[in-house]
Chain A
Amino acid sequence: MMSRLSPFSLVIGNIARKPFRTFILSSLVAVFCMAMFAGTVIGLKISTGTQLAADRLGADILFVPYGYEKSVQSSLLRGEPSSFYMDRGLVGELRGEKGVLRVTEQLFLATLKASCCSYPVQIIGFNPKTDFVVTPWMNQSLNRAMNENEVVAGCKISGNPGETIRLFGREFSIAAKLDPTGMGFDTSVFMEVDRARRLLLDSELGLLLRIPEGLDKSTFISSVLVKAEPGTDVTSLVNGLSEKYAIRYNLDFTAIADMISSISSKLSVFASVFRMFSAAVWVLAVMILAFVFTIILQERKKEFGILRIVGASKGHVRRLFVGEALLTSCMGAFCGVVLAALALGLFHTYIDVTLNLPRIGIGFGKTLLIGAGVFVMGLVTGPLACLPLLRKLGSIDSYLIMKEGE
């Protein structure tokens, strides 16, 4: 069998000789790459998702029953179903306020989890005459009015247009499905608000959902969304409206922009911690690699001396050493990026649900770019770690070998 001898085969030979050591060193680089890749992707998801949410909600102020601010955030951003109710009277009063451009109401219903195979779905009742939040998205998929027994479903609801879905014991036809929004709309079902109200009141399960005493059962809603007039200072408007209505209607209120930015900064802290961890792992990896390479250099001083004796120049020997470091890093970087991409790709839903992340992808192109960048960072780790040793490597001379042999 033909032996192929080249600097590359020498590098491969050396690495293959010490499989355990190579595995450990590669693993260090792999761990760094995995942490860096995951942190960067998650950070990008957070910023993309929250920005998208802010753009798509379209409203400036949100009113919900007192104590339900977190519930509506979870529902709007992550599609975690919830039910809460308030009086509709606020809608009319807000329309007359200065600085208010548009007002609309929504009704949130959550179906119950009847068995382990069904899963709770968020039903959002909206007013087609006044809505400015859902309708823009809906018009892209359905350009006619829905009839009594039709719903529009988010992209992650099982079923295709024309198929039926069972809600509160009634069957509805899916008129259309929305494009992905990256928000709670993806796991929600939309119907006309009065229809949603009747559905709740007529069903047996509806009796289990506590509707507060004193609420008009023919008009109750869950939230009011307000669009401010252009040029209006939203914060002042929020303060003014809340002063007037918060106690009277027992409400929580929030400026959407503040809500998004608060969520974004909390999640961003998480992403930053991830990145700091990656940086720490990288520094540790470089230090450990440098330490191990120092030991390797000492171990192989004789071998490098022999190569010098048979005619290898200092440059040849240095390239051999750096080549081994590069190949070790390359294997670790490749495995790290691939494993991280696999884990994030396969378990993306689990990760999003566990970490409360926006359920949106960042696109194949961006993922590839991040992977390439992280790979390069991992690749240079080994050569960087052995840079300080190159001088020492160059001083290994065949004469030293002779001296040691005496």
Chain B
Amino acid sequence: MKDKSFSWLGGICAVLGMLIVLTPYCIFPVCTKMMQLEGGSFAPMKCFWTARSVLGNGSIIILAGIMTCLCRTYALRAALGVMASAAGMVVVLTPSFLIGVCAGETMRCRMQTAPSLYLLGLLTIVCGLALAWRSARMARKG
């Protein structure tokens, strides 16, 4: 019974990570075109780099979720929970503060991609904290 709840939390974490990875590329894709700089050269826009960044973070969250299901040690599960939470926090901060997205209010990345990432990031933080708390509690019970 106890292991089932960890499997659930791990599974949810992995699914959230998958959604985070897919959001900027498939679900609510960001701009792929380049923007022209002052000197005439072209460079990807902020939303492109945001997508790249959350790809990495999402992968970490997927890994944390899968490992939670596979491992049996409460201490390790607690650490994975904290790791997933931290990655979720970065997912929230990336489109808002760390990198950002396009400025226009009705741009797709600002209107759809960024809010989706905020929501998924928040849910990942909650899931990760729940996992860490439950693991710590089970470890204390012995």
Contacts and interface: CB of A to CB of B under 8 A. Distances in A.
Contact flag (A, B; Cβ within 8 A):
yes
Interface of A: 1, 115-119, 156, 158, 187, 342-343, 346-347, 349-350, 353
A305 to B, nearest CB: 26
Interface residues of B, number: 20
Given A117-B33, A117-B45, A343-B119, A349 B106 contact: yes
Interface in B45-85: 45
Nearest to A156: B105
B115 A346 contact: yes
A116 B31 contact: yes
Contact of A353 (B31, B103, B106, B141): B106
Given A342-B119, A350-B111, A1 B141 contact: yes
Chief secondary structure at chain B's binding surface: mixed
Contacts, number: 41
A113 B36 CA distance: 15
A119 B105 CA distance: 9
A116 B105 contact: no
30 contacts: A1-B141, A115-B33, A115-B35, A115-B36, A116-B31, A117-B31, A117-B33, A117-B35, A117-B45, A117-B107, A118-B104, A119-B104, A119-B106, A119-B107, A156-B105, A158-B103, A158-B104, A187-B106, A343-B119, A346-B115, A346-B118, A347-B111, A347-B112, A347-B115, A349-B105, A349-B106, A349-B110, A350-B111, A350-B115, A353-B111
B35 to A, nearest CB: 5
Contacts of A187: 105-106
A118 B103 CA distance: 9
B122 interface: yes
Interface in B94-115: 102-107, 110-112, 115
Nearest to A345: B115
Contacts of A158: 103-104
A119 B102 CA distance: 10
Which 4 residue pairs of A and B lie closest in terms of their CB atoms, listed nearest first? A346-B115, A119-B104, A158-B103, A116-B31
Contacts of A115: 33, 35-36
A343 B141 CA distance: 38
A118 B45 CA distance: 12
Given A119-B106, A158-B104, A349 B111 contact: yes
A347 B141 CA distance: 42
